[in-house]
Amino acid sequence: MATAPVSHPDPHGHGHHQPGFVEKYLWSTDHKMIAMQYMFTGMAMALIGGFFAYTFRMQIAFPGVDVPGFGLVAANEYNQLITSHGAIMIFWVAMPVLIAAFGNFLIPLMIGCDDMVFPKLNRLSYQIFLLSVVVLIASFFVTGGAFAGAWTMYPPLSTKAEYGLAPLGATLFVVAVALEFVAFLMGGINFVTTAMNSRAPGMRMYDIPIVIWMIVVASILFMASVGPLIAGAIMMLFDQNLGTAFFNPDKGGDPILWQHLFWFFGHPEVYVVLLPAVGIVAEIITVMSRKKMFAYRTVLYTTFGTGVLSFMVWAHHQFIAGIDPRMANIFTITTLLISIPIAEMMFVFIATLYGGSITLNTPMLWALSFIATFLIGGVTGIFLGASGADIYLHDTYFVLAHFHYTFFPIAIIGTFAGVTFWFPKMFGRMMNETLGKIHFWGTIIAFNCIFIPLFVLGAAGQHRRIFDYSMFPQLMRPELRHIDQFATVSLLLMLSFQVVFLYNFAHSLFRGPKAPKNPWDSNTLEWTADSPPPHGNWPVLPTVYRGPYEYSTPGRDKDFWPQDEQH
């Protein structure tokens, strides 16, 4: 192996011709372009998922009133909208943006190589992902319309045609999810093998930036947990279409089997999306506070610990589902135990701030708000993990508020943090800082105004997945209706502020001030490439001499020490 490898000057044997539009934007095998494909698809899906949230929240706040831009949200429409909202946000926003977009963009750049190990497989993974998007959207337009049985697809509602209204929609929904799983299994091949095998010379295990570790561990968690659900999805497709009865009790099947297969994946899945977000936050916090990561190895060990434990908690989603009540005791113990490595991770991040020199720019505001809001998500999980309390809180808005206080920081705050931080590298321009701050404050304040009240509603007994509470006198108290309206108005506010981001993004993309290579004075390798990096990333691939977090190292005049600088 050469000591200073030169990235292939002519990898496609094309001579000196420039790639055409199709080859550059639609058929590329370059990891950076594939990252953009995932990112823009994910962001577009976020607009759809957000629109759905708008429609069903309007129905809750103003029942029976036509929703502007949509029409009447009656019982079936409501169930369809909440089903699609949940599935879209997790599978088609959080995963593609946090794992596939940031993973594809960052891994080769941060470990110092020229692309992913299997570029054509990488391209194929996006294409399968895009196919899953097409299948999902197609399901909205077929006879019977979109599937309406919640993103969890519990049978027999989801498998027996006579119980639901959308047999074809239900099948397409399962197919879309299965395709998405296949796409990410393929993507995982690249993430893990590239990070393990293609590191720059000199980059030892503990010199790898935390975000890379996080994406690798997330890929492993995904792979190890999704298998049983893929088997389950095949079983569900057969139940829906071939007359089998894996989950149909009339013919000897067991609906609870589906639940176990689903949640065995479903719980690790939340850590699959959490870890990349935490990784993004780690990179930003260290750079913006000019501090070494506090106890880097502890971060790794808590990550591994969380990953392992995440396989042992799944049935806390099923405490009152009809499982053997004795089993619930095991799972309540493991669930409360998992709060410990997560708490430790949060403490370590907070400790990193100690002794820092903190700049509160837009990426840092997002990263810090991740911690502040995720803490709320984490502690409210304890209410639900305590089996005795979950008897009351299951299927109420308390659960919904809890998981939005975890998912929103992960998928939305994590994304905004990563995008505002790496935008200069991705697009070669700087975003507008003032607009960034306006967007931040509007979003964060509105977000809390939406979901804190929902904890109260949940504790008052308001159940999920109900399009109209008028048949439940206990829930028609004016105070509770007003809280729902307050939450919906806050959502409208939050959605409006996203216009600021969209404008900032689009305007900066074309007219933003040109970005230097390293606008944040960061140590990691991606900032030594051009903004944006060319095909092959560097003319000469870098060599690494130290870890990524040598900030404020004593005895140096600069307060940072890039990984690739020999002295």
Residues 294-323 that bind another protein (CB under 8 A): 294-298, 320-322
Site for another protein in 315-374 (CB under 8 A): 320-322, 325-326, 328-329, 332-333, 336-337, 339-340, 343-344, 346-348, 350-360, 368, 371-372
Sequence-ordered strand ranges (E) for 213-274: none
Give min distance, CB of 448 to another protein, in A. Answer: 12
Q: Are 377 and 403 within 8 A, CB to CB?
A: yes
Site for another protein in 19-78 (CB under 8 A): 75-76
Give the containing element (helix H, strand E) for 559: none
3-state secondary structure of 394: coil
- Which of 350, 363, 106 has the alpha carbon at shortest distance from 214? 106
The C-alpha atoms of residue 496 and residue 491 are separated, in whole angstroms, by 8
Q: Which residues of 82-194 form beta strands (DSSP E)? A: none
Q: Is the peptide bond before 548 cis (omega within 30 degrees of 0)?
A: no
Please give the Cα distance from 282 to 363 (Å, whole number). 11
| DSSP 8-class letter at 259 | H
Is 167 a binder of another protein (CB under 8 A)? no
Q: Does 163 bind another protein (CB under 8 A)?
A: yes
Amino acid at 18: Q
By C-beta, is 276 or 378 nearer to another protein?
378
> For residues 106-125, which are near another protein according to CB under 8 A?
108, 113-119
Region of 85-93, 434-442, 463-471, 495-503 interacting with another protein (CB under 8 A):
463-471
Identity of residue 142: V
Amino acid at position 215, single letter: I
Distance, C-alpha 472 to centroid of its chain: 35
**Torsion over CA of 227, 232, 234 and 236, rounded to 10 degrees?**
-160
Q: Is 496 in the site for another protein (CB under 8 A)?
A: no
Q: What's the alpha-carbon Rg for the chain, to the nearest Å?
A: 24
Q: Is 543 in the site for another protein (CB under 8 A)?
A: no
Binding-site residue total for another protein (CB under 8 A)? Answer: 151
Stretch of 124-132, 379-387, 412-420, 526-534 contacting another protein, by CB under 8 A: 379-387
| Smallest separation, CB 42 to another protein (Å) | 23
How far apart CA 417 and CA 420 sit, in angstroms, is: 6
Residues 185-204 contacting another protein, CB under 8 A: 185, 188-189, 192-194, 196-199, 203
Asked if 540 is part of the footprint of another protein (rule: CB under 8 A), the reply reads no
What's the token pair of residue 357? 């020199």
Contact range with another protein by CB under 8 A, out of 39-47, 85-93, 471-479, 501-509: 471-479
The answer to whether residue 445 forms part of the interface with another protein (CB under 8 A) is: no
Query: With binding defined as CB under 8 A, does residue 161 bind another protein?
Result: no
Closer by beta carbon to another protein, 383 or else 495: 383
| Least separation in angstroms between CB 294 and another protein | 4
Residue span 380-419 as binding mask against another protein, x where in contact by CB under 8 A, dash where not: x-xx--xxxx-xxxxxx-----------------------
Q: Is 482 in the site for another protein (CB under 8 A)?
A: no
Cα–Cα distances in angstroms (integers) from residue 554 to residues 42, 406, 409, 424, 525, in the given order: 42, 38, 35, 29, 21
Site for another protein in 209-268 (CB under 8 A): 223-232, 234-235, 238, 242-246, 249-257, 261, 264
